[in-house]
């Protein structure tokens, strides 16, 4: 008998969690794919390059309005040592 015994219940719960995670990822991808450029800041705040939809910032969001948050493209993001923005 092994020390770590996984019950069928635990395995079922694990599969449920993984399925829920996949579903959440799928919904997030779908949500991102529906973004419209007109409603978002779409260009990198450092180099001005057009960024991918996943990086866009909603113009109406509190982050954009109150904290002046803007997208950052991948190559500019990589230049920040601490990757904090």
Q: Quick one: DSSP state of residue 5?
A: P
Cβ at position 52, least distance to Zn ion in Å: 12
How far is 66 from 72, CA to CA, in rounded Å? Answer: 17
DSSP letters spanning 20-33: HHHHHHHHHHHHHH
CB nearer to Zn ion: pick between 44 and 57: 44
CB nearer to Zn ion: pick between 20 and 54: 54
Strand partners, 50: 43
**Contact footprint for Zn ion (CB under 5 A):** 44, 46-47, 49, 73, 76
| Residue among 32, 35, 41 at smallest CA distance from 64 | 41
CB nearer to Zn ion: pick between 28 and 75: 75
Cβ at position 85, least distance to Zn ion in Å: 12
Cβ at position 73, least distance to Zn ion in Å: 3
């Amino acid at each position: 008998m092994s020390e770590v015994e996984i019950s069928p219940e635990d395995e079922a719960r694990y599969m449920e969690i993984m399925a829920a995670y996949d579903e959440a990822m799928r919904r997030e991808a779908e949500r991102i794919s529906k973004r419209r450029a007109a409603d978002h800041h779409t260009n990198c705040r450092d180099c001005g390059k057009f960024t991918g939809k996943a990086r866009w910032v909603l113009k109406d969001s509190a982050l954009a309005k109150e904290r002046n948050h803007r997208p950052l493209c991948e190559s500019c993001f990589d230049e920040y040592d601490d990757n904090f923005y």
